[in-house]
A and B are shown apart, each in its own frame.
Chain A
Amino acid sequence: MPDTFLGIRKLLNWFNVTKELPTLETAQKLGLLEIEYERIKQILGRTPNFTELSIFSAMWSEHCSYKNSIIWLKILPKDSPRMLAKAGEENAGLVDIGDGLACSFKIESHNHPSAIEPYQGAATGVGGINRDIFTMGARPIAQLNSLRFGNINLEKTKWLLKGVVKGIGDYGNAFGVPTVGGELYFDDCYNVNPLVNAFSAGIVQTDKIARAISYGAGNPVFIVGSATGKDGIHGAAFASKDISEDSVNDLPSVQVGDPFMEKLLLEATLEIIATGHVIGIQDMGAAGLICSTSEMSAKGNHGMDIWLDKVPTRQANMKPWEILLSESQERMLVVVKKGQEKTIQDIFDKWDLHCAQIGVVTESKNLRFFMNGELVAEVPAYDLVLGGGAPQYHREYKEPEYFRKYKKFNINDVKQTNNYKDVARYLLSHPNIASRRWVYEQYDSMVGTANMTTNAPSDAAVVHIKGTKKALVMCVDCNSRYVHANPEEGTAIAVAEAARNVVCSGGIPVAITNNLNFGNPYVPEVYWQFVGAIKGMKKACEKFATPVTGGNVSFYNQSADGGPVFPTPTIGMLGIMEDVSNHMTLNFKKAGDLIFLIGYSKDDISSSEYLYSYLGIKESPPPHFDLNEEYNVQELIKILIKEKLINCAHDVSDGGLFIALAESAIAGNLGFKVTSDFRFRKDAWLFGEKQSRVIVTVDPDKEKEFMSCLKSSRNLLTRDENLGVEIIGTVTNQDLVIDNELFFTTWEASDIYNNALAKLLE
């Protein structure tokens, strides 16, 4: 994509001088297709000028219009009684959480900027997602992130990772919202193109929700926050080497974040919304001013007259199209009730922020942009936006050859190892499994004094909603290796694992946001992955009653060999805990507790870290997964937590049962003694990643009650006896012991697990 914008600046200078209208060739250089150019002429009833063409190119870009994905996104479930704003209606999803409160949450990618400039790329990703939350009137209370990098042994990977982590930390820490969870994976497929997905969730009173809308002719339009500069014009696509070759004192390649400004903007924004005088407000993200003016106007069925010369700029003589398309950070567009101009101005003065009236709302439904009194562009708002006149395409898709090959995998072709201890050590210290401490200690995870998992760790982050007995339960999940192996099944697993993490923490899954990271949608095999992922997500979200509230699509993520990265549909799940006394933790509590494995095991090592990394066998399907079985396991866990019958719960995921046991032991500073199940291969039992399994511990005094609860629940849930629950061992004071063999002392395991990442990175 970047090369479509070659030489734009030269073209532009030429148009400025000659005042001639651009041609199809220019439209194509701006990334528009011929049919799109024809459509623009039809909409306007004339040939667009350069500014208008730039407006369409930005608004009809993949990023703003979702033109290659929206048709499939529409099949995802959107409804639930809790939904206050459905996918695509507002800047972020909005879920009713009772007590007159709502939670606004969303995930968004900043992959391409982070690949070029990891520090600012990641920082501005954090800034952008938080603005999406507080523009709705919600105060962000938790952030998570999902990161993927290439081979950790490459210097470039280390540089990218350190930059991204520092960028997220510096921005989020200063902004003052805790980073409470996340995920981090390494695979060669991300060597060139890392993935940086940022999640934020905020709380708003349901009567204080702000909307991204504009109406009421004569109402003033304000731009607030940072001054507008030439950064990020034409988005990431413009951030290419070719621009700086022209070296005309312009265009830093990536936007620059200012968390201090964002913090002030947060406080000022919440203050003006609280006055009740705000008609609508939207942050300026991708495609800047043109995106906010058009989306707010289209939603409210109104138009706007905007005086671009009134926009506070960082430098003199910015062109109309530069002001319109600038992606300078920390800005908002606000429409206010006429007569309340001073109220708004005073609040921004208090916080020492820019606040300039740049236009008025009009009846016309057209956006008219003026520069020093001269009309420079006039476009109908509706035709620019997604859900309005923006194009929507069906893309061709085709099953890739690898898919059939992967399915042929047979565990019997893999010789069983006889050195289980070696595998265990390998997995404990593997960068995809070892403790993420090196990363998360650089994030302020405690500001806000609501993160309940600091001292009581659980599978998902649990954040107390102050003034209530409730908590938000959140996680981000996606094993992209599974998704690659089978997009539909792998994505269903991602949703299921997210739900399992929420449930194991004592929450009830409520809704998801998704971050769909894929390769080039024009490649049929890539688009097949996309379609499969959507189908799997639909299936699983319907099962768990977790509608999709929105998210973000990121295409064009390419790997080192020019092929796509693993399809990575990251799931950000929101759950609710009605009463914090239901908070369930993952650490073993005391020696003597019985360890139960809930959910069947199988002779299954497919796509496990053990098979893929330790044995180096890359071609296999995802691990066994059955949606109904998963549902039943989760329902049982909910009952066990509610009845207070278990002392800990931890899901079996990457690295299999051994890693789950080790993590619970390390977190509790205790040990375990377990006996493997002779019905299965020992490597599959210990390291296989067959889904829908959870380990729980039970106080021996409660064993009877636990067993009778199982019995009644079995009938209730499955109408048969097929929900596997096995006792596998006991918690001990120290040492990780399997089949009477000492694997590690707890101290040793803890040292390996906790320090592995730091050793690889420093």
Chain B
Amino acid sequence: MKFGVITFPGSNCDDDLYDVLKNTMNCTTVKLWHKETDLQGCDFIFLPGGFSYGDYLRSGAIARFSPIMDAVIKHAERGGYVMGICNGFQILTEAQLLPGALLRNVGMKFICKNTYITPVNTDTVITSCLQKNKAYKIPVAHAEGRFYASEATLDEMKSNGQILFKYCHPDGTIDDTANINGSIENIAGICNTSKNVFGMMPHPERAASEYLSNTEGKAIFESILKNVRA
């Protein structure tokens, strides 16, 4: 089991993610430079958060053309695991490896704060160690995190169990007031139909350390290790 974390120009959560995978979870992890075309034999590819290419166009819209993305797309098509967090999620929707799009937050402001999310489908590689109806404190930091999908796409996603996380209150209840960015149906994280490509706006790597007094995000990495290692 080998993890790869891609560094795009402007990525800024690559080191944090690498740190959690390598030092907290004790996994073999390498960093992959966006100009490379080879995934160095990695089994699970992470696209980290940040501002690839400054987000000067739409978030993720330029990074999807980085040389390494061809290899990432092929990896995903072969059933390989790919997960995007925040800007990584935006890149994956731009690359059409994931459905929907991420629009500017309602309120038009960048938001960085702790949020609570609850798993909708615990039958996937990244959610199997999570408990249904439980709220996990995992922070967000984004200006363009409002998930949107057409009604038809949304129906399809629902029937396939592709909705993974929803924003909620600390007690797990889901309503409009818990919806921090205006995402459709409070959606915070999703996967593709084959359930090997994942994307979420909250940052689990920011909630996986005793030093930060918050380890609630570790359950996601533990799920991955449990399922993929086996």
Contacts and interface: CB of A to CB of B under 8 A. Distances in A.
Contacts of B203: 446
B16 A260 contact: no
B112 A444 contact: yes
Contact of A452 (B16, B56, B111, B211): B211
A455 B54 CA distance: 29
B118 to A, nearest CB: 19
B214 A454 contact: yes
Interface stretch (A171-179, A414-422, A592-600, A723-731): A171-179
Nearest to B12: A176
Contact of B12 (A441, A447, A452): A447
Interface in A415-468: 440-452, 454-456, 464, 466
A677 interface: no
Contacts of B15: 448
A351 B9 contact: yes
Nearest to A447: B12
Given A173-B141, A446-B139, A447-B13, A259 B212 contact: no
A170 interface: yes
Given A452-B213, A455-B114, A455-B212, A446 B206 contact: yes
B222 interface: no
A264 interface: yes
Contacts of B143: 173
Contact of A441 (B10, B111, B209): B111
B9 A452 contact: no
B132 interface: no
B51 interface: yes
A258 B54 contact: yes
B141 A447 contact: yes
B165 to A, nearest CB: 18
Interface residues of A, number: 34
A454 B110 contact: no
A139 to B, nearest CB: 10
A263 B8 CA distance: 11
A449 B16 contact: yes
A454 B114 contact: yes
B50 interface: yes
B54 A449 contact: no
Contacts of B112: 173, 440-446
Interface string B32-58: 000100000000000001110111100
Interface string B191-230: 0000000000001011011011110000000000000000
A170 B110 contact: yes
Contacts of B51: 173-174, 176, 259-260, 263
B203 to A, nearest CB: 7
Contacts of A455: 114, 212-214
B109 to A, nearest CB: 6
B19 interface: yes
A449 B110 contact: no
Contacts of A170: 110
A150 B40 CA distance: 56
Contacts of B9: 260, 263-264, 351-352
B158 interface: no
A445 B212 CA distance: 12
A443 B111 CA distance: 7
8 contacts: A174-B54, A174-B55, A259-B51, A263-B9, A442-B112, A443-B110, A447-B141, A449-B209
Closest 8 CB pairs of A and B: A176-B12, A260-B54, A455-B213, A174-B51, A449-B16, A444-B141, A456-B213, A464-B211
